[in-house]
Amino acid sequence: MLRLHNLKPRPGSTHRKKRLGIGESSGHGKTSGRGGKGQSARSGSSIRIGFEGGQMPLIRRLPKRGFNNKAFGTSYLPVSLDVLNEFDDGATVDEAVLRTTGAARGKKLLRVKILGDGELTKKLHVKAAAFSATARAAIEKAGGSAEVVA
């Protein structure tokens, strides 16, 4: 019978820990798998990523040109129209409601954008930071309203 006191891992699932420095014939003696002398052979040593032994690293040798708009662009949390069908007819749906129901999951900094994926069957008053053209048309076609909130 399987009990807590006689649990053990399946055969072959666990490996014996590599024991370093236990004699030459073990294969892990002498330098204990660290190679010869040098910085990486010393205890407590770690070399940061991209370090080239004092030589100017590749990332600093390459020229950096051009402009990247990522820092200035606006990102949105996408919410499709299908998700809005779970709310009652005539309800007001805003960002706070979408976050509490789990429809808009993500960073608090990101604003919500309603996308036109799927069909909307209920009349809703939707408040969001942005709407796609198809989403706005579908909400208004269903008799609801789409309000942009800054």
Tell me the pLDDT tens digit for each residue of 26-81. 889 999 999 999 888 999 988 899 999 899 999 999 998 998 888 888 889 999 99
Residue 19 is assigned to a structural domain of this protein: no
Which pLDDT belongs to residue 30?
A: 92
The pLDDT of residue 131: 96
In a domain, 28, yes or no: no
Domain around 119 = 76-148
* CATH code where residue 112 lies: 3.100.10.10
Q: Could you tell me the pLDDT band of residue 1, with boundaries at 50, 70 and 90?
A: confident
| pLDDT > 90? residue 137 | yes
Q: For 75-130, write each residue's pLDDT tens digit.
A: 899 999 999 999 999 999 999 999 999 988 888 888 999 999 999 999 999 999 99
* The total number of structural domains that make up the chain: 1
121 part of a folded domain? yes
Q: Examine residue 135 and state whether it is found in any structural domain, yes or no.
A: yes
Three-state secondary structure of 66-132: CCCCCCCCCCEEEEEHHHHCCCCCCCEECHHHHHHHCCCCCCCCCEEEEECCCCCCCCCEEEECEEC
pLDDT for the residue 140: 94
For 124, residues 6+ apart whose C-beta sits below 8 A from its C-beta are 84, 87, 89, 90, 91, 92, 93, 139, 142, 144
Decide: pTM greater than 0.75: no
Which is higher by pLDDT, 12 or 61? 61
Please indicate, yes or no, if residue 3 is contained in any of the structural domains: no
**Cα separations in angstroms, 145 against 19, 77, 101, 119:** 69, 20, 20, 15
Does residue 143 carry a pLDDT above 90? yes
CA 50 – CA 60 distance, rounded (Å): 10
Within-domain flag for 95: yes
Could you tell me if residue 100 is inside a domain?
yes
| pLDDT at residue 144 in the model | 93
Residue 131 maps to a domain: yes
What pLDDT, on a 0 to 100 scale, did the predictor assign at position 114?
95
